[in-house]
């Protein structure tokens, strides 16, 4: 199983939302950001490995809620087609035109407007 990692910036953004002890926060950060094993983090506090796992899971639950909130906020102002989401892209500049082209190809074309034909008033 691949180890779950997050950046220091992501962890720092979550910090004010965490309602767990400073020790649990430190242990979770050691695992998620610094890449230490659950057991090494647990040993720092005299815990069992599972206690570190519980701290990590608490942080990951908050991360999931945070990401859902950010996604909802980012998409609140615009209506997106089903299956689409808004992202911020950071990539080499030579790839941006290719990416924009692929998006243009995938974008549904707007429906052609047609003029409605009015029936004469005396027809029923």
At residue 1 the predicted structure's pLDDT band, cuts being 50, 70 and 90, is very low
Which has more confidence, 17 or 123?
17
Q: Is residue 99 within 8 Å of 89, Cβ to Cβ?
A: yes
pLDDT mean over 88-106: 88
Topology annotation, domain 1-103: Arc Repressor Mutant, subunit A (1.10.10)
Could you tell me which of 26, 35, 36, 44 has the C-alpha nearest to residue 6? Answer: 35
Has this prediction a pTM greater than 0.75? no
Provide the H-helix boundaries in the chain: 8-14, 22-32, 38-45, 49-74, 96-106
pLDDT at 117 over 70: no
Place of tokens 């939302």: 17
């Amino acid at each position: 199983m691949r180890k779950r990692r997050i950046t220091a910036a992501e962890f720092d953004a979550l910090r004010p939302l965490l309602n767990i002890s400073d020790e649990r926060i430190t242990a979770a950060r050691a695992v998620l950001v610094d890449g230490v094993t659950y057991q090494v983090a647990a040993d720092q506090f005299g815990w069992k490995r599972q206690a570190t796992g519980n701290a990590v899971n608490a942080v990951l639950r908050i991360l999931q809620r945070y990401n859902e909130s950010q996604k909802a906020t980012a998409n609140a102002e615009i209506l997106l087609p089903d299956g689409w989401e808004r992202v911020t892209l950071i990539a080499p500049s030579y790839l941006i035109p290719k990416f924009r082209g692929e998006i243009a190809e995938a974008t549904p074309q707007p429906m052609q407007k047609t003029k409605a034909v009015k029936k004469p008033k005396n027809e029923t």
